[in-house]
Amino acid sequence: MLQGLKIAGIIFVSIVFILIILVKGVLEPMIKSRVDNYIGTSDTEVYTYHYKKLSINLLGGSLHIKEVDAIPSPSSFDSLKIGKYEDIDRLFASEIYISVNYFTYVTERQIKISQVRIINPDITIYYFPEETKGQRDPVALDGIFSDEFQGFHMQSLTIENAKFTFQNILKETADFVLDSVYIRLNNIEINPETLASKPLGIGFNKVELESGSMDFAVNEYYDVHLDKINVVIAKNVNDSIKPLTNLLINGVSYQPNDFAMGELSANRLRVLSDIKTKQIEIKNFQLGELILEKKLNLKQLIIQNPEIRQIANSKMKKESGRNPSRFILKEYLEIITVEKFRIRDGTMHLTDIHKSNSDLVLHEVNIAFDKVVLNDSTFQQPLGLSFTRGEFNSSGADSDLGEFYTLATGPLHFDLVEGNASFSDIKLIPKHTREAFSKVTPYEQDQFDISIGNLLLKNLDLRALNEDLSIKLNSAIINNLALYVYRDKWVEDQEFVYKPLPSHSIRNIKIPIWIDSIQIKNSIITYTQLGDVVEYEGEQPGTITFNNVFATGYRLTNNPVELKRNPEFVLNAQAKFMNTSKLTAQYRFVIPDTTDLFYVKAKMDSFPTNALDPMLKNLLLVSVPKGMIHHLEIDMMGNDDKITGKISMEYEKLNIDILKSKKPTKSSGFLNTIANGVIKRNNLRKKGRFTVGLVNTERRKNKSVFNYTWNGIKSGMISTVMPFVKKEKTKKKSKRSK
């Protein structure tokens, strides 16, 4: 029995030895010869192939190839240049390792490979840039399949440390280079069917790609840098034919180059974008549609933590017709659709290239679009795309406005479909106290301290805004405005600078504007002034206040066609004057009239005269401690030269107290006697001898419309109270040094 086992063992060893001889001496050379026929040093019409060394281990199931090179032929380049092909590739790999089951070739006429590793490949993809019906890369695999050899199957393919270069065949330099690329594919099929039906000519279950940094110019205006790219392509469980692709890009910058900035400065472009973002995530798109049909259909596009800088040229009021972003569709794509597009936690800077310190910075910007479509026709729409939902949100904005002010807001919300915008907690904040402002301002001017609880813009026309920066909306609603104005009259006057009236200003707004209505609700306006014609010890400013202000303006426009139909801008207002009397007023500005014609009408209910003390006492050292104004009515008409009209003021028991300049709390008895002897102490209709004050005041054209109106009212009131005193020309006040 032992002898039989020994003989059997010898026979078994002999069989193994014979198999080894068969494999090493016959099959390995035969397979090597077969491989030589396919990828050895050989020429085809399109490619030249060669390698430096080929090693086969049939028993171990391995194949090792060194320095593999696939070089497109000159004729293939010529065919590509005329659009016969869409693209051709040039490949070099330092090493290829293959784990393969050779015996399936004998039984199934297929080569089944468990693993392929391609080391350090250098791949250049040459493409024809125009739309073409030419075939995709005419790889030589098209000709190797037959009844004897029906295809490849690979469990996994790994490409390590690859370099991809993409180059327009009509250009001398590469478009961009993708370096340090790692690619992993699972369950790969390559056969005549996949070559005919698959976008890349192969079938697979999953692809993973990871690359290093990448730099390229997308067109003549913009350069792009990517730190890292991750791509996963996997079959959709509901559709095994169409695999879905997910893309994650880290460290993205999209920046205008020097040429683009030069075009912006030269008034040949209106706006450029400079974008940096930590991460862009693209979910569930079909790579096949992108490659074969130039369609990019995305389930979701998410941009994380971008810093966006919009650089505008304010001197260009209309778009030049050149949109630097249209290259995407013009050269590479027919259409982009995105089911959900999100920008999360971004920062946005709005900058004017012609102004310093003009950045408006928006914080925590979140933008949401649904059902987005981007194609050549949507570029004609306001934002260059169409969508069913569009929202812009920011936690707030701020801007440094120069030497005197900063601007800040609370939350912002913009409905991009309806054109409705809401701005909360808007503040114009002075950088100096009132005393410091008087010292640093070069000439007499108002200091403003403004806050707005909420500003609502309704139905803003985005198309008009995009085409020529037109402001067109149905209404602007201002809630809880607090306007504090301060002026130091002792600061030196500015050399004469003409201050236009509202009609002139509206006509000459540099952009078209049309606002159907403007509303101001629940607001307060305070005007404080230091100094007028009397300087005294311990001088204090005078203040006039309007509380509970409600105002509505209609038809604010500089459009000539609209002005022919409705030439007037009408402003109706009501307020509580000095917390005592109800004031109603109407301004009517005839916008197209070149003399700047306007009308003012106002009425006030009764109030005690001492309500005027906070203004008169501090500015003129005059108090009106006794008296009652029962009714005040103003009717004036003015233009750029003169204001005229009537003041009807019913009052009784008027008494004036003139204060001492050295002791402003003490009365000047002698002057009081004279003043109260000159004034008309009672002016009542029912008692007869009612005086209507006449307004006749020439305009000082370096003063504002409010100063102009007040001087007119003041002249009418003086002619009522002192009807027998001739008006004298006011002497120029002396200015106090800083």
Q: State the pLDDT at residue 336.
A: 86
How close are the terminal C-alpha atoms of the chain, in Å?
128
Size (the chain), residues: 738
* Closest CA relative to residue 212, chosen from 191, 230, 194, 197: 230
Alpha carbon distance 695, 717 (integer Å): 8
Where do the H-state alpha helices sit in 498-606? 502-507, 560-565
Q: State the pLDDT at residue 534.
A: 60
* Closest CA relative to residue 569, chosen from 536, 539, 593, 548: 593
Burial class (CB in 10 A: 0-12, 13-18, 19+), 5: exposed
Burial class (CB in 10 A: 0-12, 13-18, 19+), 331: middle
- Yes or no: say if 54 and 28 are a contact pair by the CB < 8 Å rule: no
Alpha carbon distance 273, 328 (integer Å): 15
Distance of CA 236 to the CA centre of its chain: 36
Q: State the pLDDT at residue 341.
A: 93
Where do the H-state alpha helices sit in 421-580? 434-440, 462-468, 502-507, 560-565
Q: State the pLDDT at residue 456.
A: 96
Q: State the pLDDT at residue 568.
A: 95
- Yes or no: say if 368 and 342 are a contact pair by the CB < 8 Å rule: yes
User: pTM above 0.85?
Assistant: no
Strand partners, 180: none
Q: State the pLDDT at residue 10.
A: 41
Q: State the pLDDT at residue 464.
A: 79
Q: State the pLDDT at residue 647.
A: 94
C-alpha distance from residue 337 to each of 279, 285, 304, 699 (Å)? 20, 10, 20, 61
Residue 559 φ then ψ, to 5°: -75, 120
Q: State the pLDDT at residue 660.
A: 67
Alpha carbon distance 189, 149 (integer Å): 13
Alpha carbon distance 489, 732 (integer Å): 12
Q: Which amino acid is at 375?
A: N
C-alpha distance from residue 210 to each of 89, 183, 306, 369 (Å)? 20, 6, 22, 29
CA-only gyration radius of the chain, Å: 42
Q: State the pLDDT at residue 186.
A: 82
Q: State the pLDDT at residue 75.
A: 83
Could you state, in chain order, the average pLDDT of each consecutive group of 10 residues for the chain (738 residues)?
41 40 44 53 64 74 81 83 78 83 62 81 82 50 56 79 84 79 81 68 77 81 89 62 80 92 87 92 79 80 93 71 53 81 94 78 95 80 83 94 93 94 96 93 90 95 77 94 91 85 91 93 92 65 91 94 93 94 95 95 93 78 86 95 95 83 64 76 88 93 84 88 59 46
Q: State the pLDDT at residue 503.
A: 94
Alpha carbon distance 283, 231 (integer Å): 10
